[in-house]
Structure 1
Amino acid sequence: LQMIDPQGLQNRSRGSRRLRRFPIISAGPNEQWSMDGHDKLAMWGFGIYGIRDVYSGFLLALHAFPSNRLAANVHWLFLETILEQKGTLQIGYPIQVASDRGSEMGQISETQFLLRQTYSTPELDDVPPHICLKSLRNITIERQWVHVRKEVVDLILEKIQEGLERGFVWTNPAHRSLFWWLFAPLVQGLLAQHVTFHNSFWVRRQPTKPNPSGGRRQDFFKSPEKFGGVECLQRIQLDTIREIMEIRDKVVTEGMLRWISEEEEKICLNAHWALGASAACWTLHEVWNLFEQMVPLTQAHLTRVFEQMEV
């Protein structure tokens, strides 16, 4: 739940386009999760979605999908994030989620409302389970995209440009499938590195900041009592945890969590194995060398798959 400094509630001054900023005050971790998508790699088939805790700034999730606009995809990420919250050795959900008005939030909003209705205490009845904010107001996650772009997106875009100069043809379906097979784990790996660095990075002391500073975000999130905060995780019972796991598994079949079909993946795997131990793993630095080696081994087989799909 965001408690806003009254001074920050003033409207923009007449004749000025500058948005007045205000401090965000939160009681503790899991009071509010800020959620949003990042589209700078979307044209290449990678839609990024993030979830960040407002109190601590802790990055709860940062994941790449073929589409971050599909409700089932982001619902899967929300459920996964709930299942990963241990709190005091218990799984739970936040008091509130905040997002923009994107249509992909429909399933998440329904789940959040249901959990709140089932488990939250009457004292929270006046707190909306889900609030929709303009992007300029959903700043906890919005601020993260600047760093994601510098540390992940720009690196991927540079590599894609290199590939285009070396013969990668985006409009060639066989090239595109191989590109996704090679780049999907690289993109997700960079996102995971970003999460680890961000959460363990030492935040400098900011005396005027209402939420904690002068420490690591992972400490703010896991030990709020040391920083004047209160754990706000809304705990759920074992039966509901099983139900959430079942819903998550069902969402996998409804969503689009993979870039290529099982048949395409098998073709890529066989080609990769045929190259031997030297190609066992790959990095961003050498990915196009591997791409060039695999194209002759996959082109005809992948093309045949697409031709059969068109019949």
Structure 2
Amino acid sequence: MQGYRWLHLRALQRGYVASQDTIRQLIKLFDPEGVELRRARRLRRRHYRNKGPNPLWHMDSYDKLKPYGIGINGCIDGFSRYVVWMEAYRTNNDPKVIADYFITSIARLGGCPERLRADRGTENGHVENMLVFLRRNHTDSFARDRSFVYGRSTANQRIEFWWGILRKQSAQFWINLFQTLQDDGHFSGDFLDKSLIQFCFLNLVQDELNEVVTTWNSHKIRPKAGHGVTGGRPVLMYTLPEMHGAEDCLKTIDLEELALCKEECTPKSQYPCDETVFDLCCLLMQEKGWDAPRDAFSAAELYLLLRNEILLNI
């Protein structure tokens, strides 16, 4: 699923020393079919321009794992392609949870974007209201109601492109794994099965999301002459825009107003699933001597053990 540039960066991050050409030759040797598939899936996209980081963020939800109880929500900066947040949780349509991602991010960055784009899903209503509230006293042309932009999810170019990256680098693996459990008769889609998936896999999915985001934010984007695409590494383009002849458009916010918004948010729970199911699973693991999962395959094994044990006692 992964190209040679991406795998080269992953190798360096894991302590392996190899040239890009070595990685490219290895991929071509071991996965010639994948190389051809990646070549065949090049898309022509409309030109996109921004004057620097933070004039426009793109926010959206990713539903490919939702049938199994895991929803993903993310946001990306339009200029730098820096991923602002990427969160996996039991839901991605609770407006108070999505708002917490937004408020936590702008508190960390010390300001909010000029504008934020999202689709018309009900989960985005709180973010819209909070951004308009925080921007109501600003005097630029995108202040107040103009700070939030609605549009079709499929036309939300930056985040839609990133979902394609996520699927190739991570999500397709989880889709295949969960689909195998379903095909083998070990997942029915009911409350218990979704809760067990969340208990066994949610933290692993989030850990891998964090790794994919770290790799993406530090990889090098090649410039495209005539397309308005600035080259560089997203994290540097976002934090040091002057290196690329750009200006930071982050808007200042009042800390007391930010605290008011925070009170209307719902942070992610410390429990990856329903609390009652969580307590039951922990009790069974303690009684049976089952270890916490370290990777996807040990998580799948634990899922089957817990499911069989619970169903036998219902």
Matched, 1:149 2:162: no
* 1:22 lines up with 2:46 in the alignment: yes
Q: Is the 8 A contact 1:65 1:257 kept in 2?
A: no
CA distance in 1, matches of 2:117, 2:106: 15
Q: What whole-Å deviation, never above 9, does each CA across 1:82-111 have from its counterpart, x for those lacking one? A: 2221xxxxx111110011222222111111
Q: What's 1:92 paired with?
A: 111
**Structure 1 pair 39/280, CA: closer, same or farther in 2 (3 Å)?**
closer
8 Å Cα contact 1:175/1:299 also seen in 2: no
Taking only the aligned residue pairs, the percentage that are identical comes to: 25
Aligned partner of 1:75: which letter?
Answer: A
Checking the alignment, whether the CA contact within 8 Å between 1:30 and 1:55 is kept in structure 2 is yes
- Structure 1 equivalent of residue 18 of structure 2: none
Q: What is the aligned partner in structure 2 of residue 279 from structure 1?
A: 291
Q: Label 1:174 to 1:202 Cα distance change in 2 as closer, same or farther (>3 A).
A: same
- Report the residue type matching 2:230 in the other structure: P
CA drift at 1:203: 1.3
Length-normalised TM-score, structure 2: 0.77
Distance 1:221 1:262 in 2: 39
Q: In the TM superposition, what are the counterparts of 1:1-311 in structure 2 within 5 Å?
A: 21-85=45-109, 91-118=110-137, 120-122=138-140, 124-125=142-143, 128-164=146-182, 168-171=186-189, 173-213=191-231, 215-248=232-265, 251-252=266-267, 260-276=273-289, 279-295=291-307, 297-299=309-311, 303=314
Q: In the superposition, relative to structure 1, how do residues 165 and 125 fare at CA in structure 2: closer, same or farther (>3 Å)?
A: closer
Specify whether residues 117 and 257 from structure 1 end up closer, same or farther in structure 2 by C-alpha distance, changes over 3 A only.
Answer: farther
- SS of the residue 1:93 aligns to: coil
Tell me whether 235-244 or 55-64 shows the greater mean CA deviation: 235-244
Indicate how the Cα distance of structure 1 residues 181 and 109 shifts in structure 2: closer, same or farther if over 3 A, else same. Answer: same
Contact persistence 1:26–1:211 (CA under 8 A): no
**1:56 positional shift:** 0.3
Residues 168 and 121 of structure 1: is their aligned pair in 2 closer, same or farther, counting only changes over 3 Å?
same
Task: Provide closer, same or farther for how the CA distance between residues 257 and 47 of structure 1 changes in structure 2, counting only shifts above 3 A.
Answer: farther
Q: Deviations over 1:3-57 (max 9, x none)?
A: xxxxxxxxxxxxxxxx995322111111110111121122112222110000101
Amino acid at match of 2:51: A
- For the aligned residue pairs, the C-alpha RMSD in angstroms reads 2.8
Using the TM superposition, name which of 203-212 and 218-227 deviates more.
203-212
The answer on whether the counterparts of 1:220 and 1:227 sit within 8 Å (CA) in structure 2 is yes
What count of residue pairs does the alignment treat as equivalent? 272
**1:195/1:275 Cα in 2 relative to 1: closer, same or farther (>3 Å)?**
farther
On the 8 A contact 2:68/2:197 being kept in 1, the answer is: no
Q: CA deviation at 1:283?
A: 0.5
SS in 1 for 2:155: coil
Tell me the SS of whatever aligns to 1:235.
coil
- Gaps in structure 2 of 5+ consecutive residues: 1-42
Residue 298 of structure 1 deviates from its aligned partner by 4.3
The 1-side partners of 2:55 and 2:280 are apart by: 46
Cα 1:218–1:71 shift into 2, 3 Å:
same
Q: Which amino acid aligns with 1:46?
A: I
2:217 maps to amino acid: N
